[in-house]
């Protein structure tokens, strides 16, 4: 009986230690992922995500993938700022979607860049009625994505590898943001 009691205590202690380790591991992994998947410019992202009806997690995923939160980022294609808008897209969004005149110099202003980027993303989601297609269009342009759509309006194939990888990265980052901050 004594040996059996000690064995039960050892098993219970092992289970308790295992559960405690699991909690500690989850806590450390979540903290580590929050360092990698941060939410800078949160008041601006929240404001414009709500105003234009775009999921905050998606906005953060686009910013993370595009610039990794560097407001001065510039791509080889000339896209600039947190949401990596080209000057042409930036000015078009300001004029056509916001009905405002915004100086091209404002493209690196985080507030203005996020506002225009989120508004553009909202327009793409409205246009394509699909988050996946909208994200593809954010990278490859709406004209190309329109050509890729199937008759049923679904985006089943993305023929450009860079865009295919981009969509995968953004949607993966969105899933992580949802799990870390919105579930």
Q: Is 66 a catalytic residue?
A: yes
Architecture of domain 40-181: Orthogonal Bundle (1.10)
Catalytic residue among 40, 51, 56, 66: 66
The answer to whether 85 touches 79, Cβ cutoff 8 Å, is yes
pLDDT given at position 41: 98
List, for the chain, all residue ranges whose pLDDT scores fall below the cut of 70.
1, 14-32
Q: Which residues pair with 85 in a beta bridge?
A: 80
Quick one: tokens of 181? Answer: 């901050």
pLDDT given at position 29: 53
Give the domain ranges of the chain.
1-36, 40-181
Q: CA angle, corner 129, sides to 172 and 168, nearest 5?
A: 20
SS3 of residue 85 by DSSP? strand
Distance CA 166, CA 160 (A): 10
Distance CA 70, CA 52 (A): 23
The answer to whether 136 touches 158, Cβ cutoff 8 Å, is yes
pLDDT given at position 3: 75
pLDDT given at position 168: 98
pTM: 0.84
């Amino acid at each position: 009986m004594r040996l059996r009691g000690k064995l039960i205590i050892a098993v219970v202690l092992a289970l308790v230690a295992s559960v405690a380790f699991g909690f500690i591991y989850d806590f450390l992994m979540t903290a580590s992922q929050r360092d990698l998947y941060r939410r800078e410019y949160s008041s601006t992202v929240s404001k414009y995500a709500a105003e234009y009806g775009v999921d905050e997690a998606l906005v953060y995923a686009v910013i993370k993938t595009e610039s990794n939160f560097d407001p001065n980022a510039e791509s080889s294609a000339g896209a600039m700022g947190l949401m990596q808008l080209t000057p042409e897209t930036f000015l078009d969004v300001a004029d056509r979607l916001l009905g405002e005149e915004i100086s091209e110099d404002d493209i690196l202003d985080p507030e203005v860049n996020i506002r225009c980027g989120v508004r553009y993303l909202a327009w793409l989601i409205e246009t394509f009625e699909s988050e996946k297609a909208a994200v593809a269009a954010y990278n490859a342009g709406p004209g190309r994505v329109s050509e890729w759509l199937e008759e049923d309006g679904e985006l089943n194939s993305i023929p450009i590898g860079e865009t295919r990888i981009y969509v995968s990265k953004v949607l993966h980052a969105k899933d992580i943001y949802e799990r870390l901050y919105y579930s």
